[in-house]
Amino acid sequence: MAQLAEEYQRTLVTGGTGLVGSAIKDVLIDRLVNLANWRFLSSKDGDLSDPQAVDKIFSDFKPTRVIHLAAMVGGLFHNMANNLDFFRTNIAINDNVLRASYETGVKKVVSCLSTCIFPDVVQYPITETMIHQGEPHSSNFGYSYAKRMIDVQNRAIFEKYGFKYTSVIPCNVYGPNDNYHLQKSHVIPGLIHKFFLAKQKNEEAVVMGSGAPLRQFIFSKDLAKLFLWVLDNYDEVSPIILSVDEEHEVSIKTVAELIAKTLGIEQELVFDIDAADGQYKKTASNAKLRSLLPGFQFTPIEDGIKESVEWFMKNYDTARK
């Protein structure tokens, strides 16, 4: 399906005020893109789990393209405690946004899955074709099954209406404007906040779990650039993994040590081995991305963590926490 020229596009970004949405906005501002035809939604613009609110947003703005980021999002411990809410809220949001998109003739939707929705028992490295090949890890099955249904719905929409709605699969994301909540966040923002307080109070810096699990982490601005590339250039319904290379997978212990070093914490870290580790690893292959977009340079994790820590300290009063 031929794409409209950029000046005729009206692009709606759901979840536009979150970690990924605000990075996309920052990248567009860096590129001097006129944002008059872009709309970055927050939950204050309407609860996307409510179909009427979604219909109103679509009929007011009349998007031609949608980047769909809005979701109930959280780290391991928030997921473990709330599988039902993660499932129901995300099923509702995704169904409302995708349904409103095809009903109003939106030409392209790029939605967001995650490498944590893949089967728990899987052959590594994980590739795009494996999404539905087994049960997800028990810790986040609600979020995982809800996200997997986006891919099912995209395929069904293409079959019925011919729209090439697609999805991307990022690894663990971090950066400015993250959710730094002490219990609900992902590991990097959670540890930045926790270690920041530990340093202030001269207390132990505690890492949950053994520190052994392995993760790939992508800096939010890198993901934002890749999202915009997908929006303009990727023409498949089937999803694409947006992750750093496999050899840049790191242990939670390494990440914790990097955060501690960046904050100037010198004492030994304490590992709470009674806390959950979650899935041991989710090593994903970015071969498809590399074949379509060779040469993309990812931000080294040391630089990304430094920028995230500096952002958190500078914005401590207003940061989500």
Binding site for ligand NAP (CB under 6 A): 15-21, 42-44, 47-49, 69-73, 93, 112, 114, 170, 172-173, 179, 186
Q: Distances in Å between the alpha carbon of 155 and those of 41, 158, 183, 246?
A: 26, 5, 36, 28
Query: At its nearest, how many Å lie between ligand NAP and the CB of residue 286?
Result: 14
Q: State the amino acid at position 201 in one-letter form.
A: K
The residue (of 129 and 183) whose beta carbon lies closer to ligand GDP is: 183
Q: Which does 47 bind (CB under 5 to 8 A by kind): ligand NAP, ligand GDP, none?
A: ligand NAP
Q: Which does 71 bind (CB under 5 to 8 A by kind): ligand GDP, ligand NAP, none?
A: ligand NAP
Query: At its nearest, how many Å lie between ligand GDP and the CB of residue 231?
Result: 25
Rounded Cα distance, 74 and 183, in Å: 9
Selection from 149, 163, 173 nearest residue 226 by Cα: 173
SS3 label, residue 291? helix
Rounded Cα distance, 241 and 310, in Å: 28
Query: At its nearest, how many Å lie between ligand NAP and the CB of residue 54?
Result: 9
Sign, CA torsion 10/16/17/19: negative
The residue (of 157 and 265) whose beta carbon lies closer to ligand NAP is: 157
Question: Residue with CB nearest ligand NAP?
Answer: 18
Known catalytic residue at 143: yes
The residue (of 63 and 213) whose beta carbon lies closer to ligand GDP is: 213
Query: At its nearest, how many Å lie between ligand GDP and the CB of residue 194?
Result: 6
The residue (of 11 and 179) whose beta carbon lies closer to ligand NAP is: 179
Contact yes or no for 279/135 (Cβ under 8 A): no
The residue (of 64 and 139) whose beta carbon lies closer to ligand GDP is: 139
Helices (H) and strands (E) in the chain, counts: 10, 12
Instruction: Kindly list the residues in this chain that would bind ligand GDP in the complex (CB under 6 A).
Output: 75-77, 116, 172, 185-187, 190-191, 194, 207-209, 213, 215, 252, 275-278
Query: At its nearest, how many Å lie between ligand NAP and the CB of residue 8?
Result: 26
Q: Which does 315 bind (CB under 5 to 8 A by kind): ligand NAP, ligand GDP, none?
A: none
| Number of Cβ atoms within 10 Å of the Cβ of 38 | 20
The token pair that represents 129 in the structure block: 């074709």
The token pair that represents 17 in the structure block: 């005020």
Query: At its nearest, how many Å lie between ligand NAP and the CB of residue 157?
Result: 18
Strand segments, DSSP code E, in 147-285 are 166-170, 172-174, 206-208, 214-215, 217-219, 240-242, 250-251, 270-272
Query: At its nearest, how many Å lie between ligand GDP and the CB of residue 151?
Result: 18
The residue (of 28 and 116) whose beta carbon lies closer to ligand GDP is: 116
- Give the active site residue among 102, 143, 180, 234: 143
Selection from 218, 260, 208 nearest residue 243 by Cα: 218
Q: Which does 209 bind (CB under 5 to 8 A by kind): ligand NAP, ligand GDP, none?
A: ligand GDP
Q: What angle do CA 19, 238, 231 make, to 5 degrees?
A: 50
Q: What angle do CA 214, 215, 219 make, to 5 degrees?
A: 150
Selection from 34, 41, 36, 38 nearest residue 11 by Cα: 38
The residue (of 64 and 220) whose beta carbon lies closer to ligand NAP is: 220
Catalytic residues: 143
